[in-house]
Amino acid sequence: MNFIKNNAAGILLCLAIAIPSWFLGKLFPIIGGAIISILAGMVVTLFIKDKRNFEKGIKFTSKKILQWAVVLLGFGMNLNVILQIGRQSLPIIICTITVSLLIAYFLHKALKIPDKISTLIGVGSSICGGSAIAATAPVIDADDEEVAQAISVIFFFNVIAAVIFPTLGSLLGFSQTDGYAFGVFAGTAINDTSSVTAAASTWDSMYGLGAFTLDTAVTVKLTRTLAIIPITLVLAFIRTRKAKQSKDSGKFSMKQIFPFFILYFVAASVITTVCVSAGVDIAAFTPLKELSKFFIVLAMAAIGLNTNIVKLVKTGGKPIFLGLCCWIGITVVSLVLQHFLGIW
């Protein structure tokens, strides 16, 4: 009863924003419900003078619900399919992730961009956008404004990529008789699933390829998503080591920040793989995948409610430049390696 009393108002407010945002995201998939929700939350919070009754529910939604979303994401992962198709793109995935993280690190040092923002943008750009940011934020103890800023930057370049990549692919001479090369390109160089889907579907429509490009791109994208596991574990280790070197080392342990929800994400992936191998239709897990997406939209509403949009705009220059550099770096590396490996 205490949980309901303390959290109900904030959760209901988040739901009031998330539900219409979810449906609007279905109407405008290139934008997506998560971005609509976070922007709506930023606007709504301007009109709430006293948030004390909502604070606990908003915090619960932005932290716990976000972690549950990552766990449920695992039910969309058939590891057999991912390892079979995704392994062909594995060298490209590893290199694009490495380049993005290195760019984020060096620009963080050179431009004195806050380390948590740099980490979130680097990880979000290189792995899977909002899902990677959702998984990383609790590990590095990023606040809601930092999460909102990182997601906004990622979204901006996602939309650009979804719009221009099909035309870019045509100009570069990607095969128009099958969608494999463009599917690998979209899956490795665009980080958010909705934008990957938009770009790949456009290529399929342009050249009458059915859903071949889309299937390839989504599989490659899901392979990238698995990088959440080592990245979060490494970040947890780094944070623990730094804490041990600080004055409060005696009060800090790995157990405090270990991303246990990532283990549940792995367990969900294994359950899905075992069940599908035993003959269960992968479509049986669709409701859980959809719930994961809705939980992300719900958590984004909470993050928006905790974000000062004026401050976000004023401090956005350097993070946007960082996101641009990561995006260009990933795109160039993907194209170069595809050419080198004979895919394009």
DSSP letter for each residue of 195-263: HHHHHHHHHHHHHT-TTHHHHHHHHHHHHHHTTHHHHHHHHHHHHHHHHHHSTTGGG--HHHH--HHHH
Contact 276, 282 (CB under 8 A): yes
End-to-end CA, the chain: 59
CA-based nearest residue to 97, from 228, 259, 214, 217: 228
Q: What are the phi and psi torsion angles at 211 (to 5°)?
A: -130, 20
- Cα angle value 165/171/172 (rounded, 5°): 85
- Cα angle value 200/204/208 (rounded, 5°): 175
- For residue 160, the model assigns a pLDDT of 86
- For residue 298, the model assigns a pLDDT of 94
DSSP conformational letter for 129 = T
Contact 307, 91 (CB under 8 A): no
pLDDT in tens, the chain (344 residues): 788 888 999 999 999 999 999 999 888 877 778 888 988 998 999 898 888 889 899 989 988 898 898 888 888 778 887 777 677 788 898 999 999 999 999 999 999 999 999 999 999 998 878 788 888 988 898 888 898 889 888 888 888 888 899 999 999 989 888 888 999 999 999 887 778 888 888 899 888 888 788 888 888 888 888 888 899 888 888 888 877 776 555 555 566 667 787 788 889 989 999 999 999 988 899 899 889 889 989 988 998 898 877 777 777 789 999 999 999 999 999 999 998 988 87
Q: What is the domain extent for residue 315?
A: 2-340
Q: What is the pTM of this model?
A: 0.81
- For residue 195, the model assigns a pLDDT of 81
- CA-CA distance, 326 to 319, in Å (whole number)? 10
- CA-CA distance, 44 to 46, in Å (whole number)? 5
Domain count, the chain: 1
- For residue 211, the model assigns a pLDDT of 79
SS (H, E, C) 157-193: HHHHHHHHHHHHHHHHCCCCCCCHHHHHHHHHHCCCH
CA-based nearest residue to 324, from 161, 157, 188, 159: 157
How far is residue 236 from each of residues 24, 27, 28, 45, 255, measured CA to CA in Å? 36, 38, 36, 32, 10
66-73 vs 130-140: helix crossing angle, rounded to 10: 130
- b/e map 69-87, b = 16+ CB within 10 Å: bbbbbbbbbbbebbeebbe
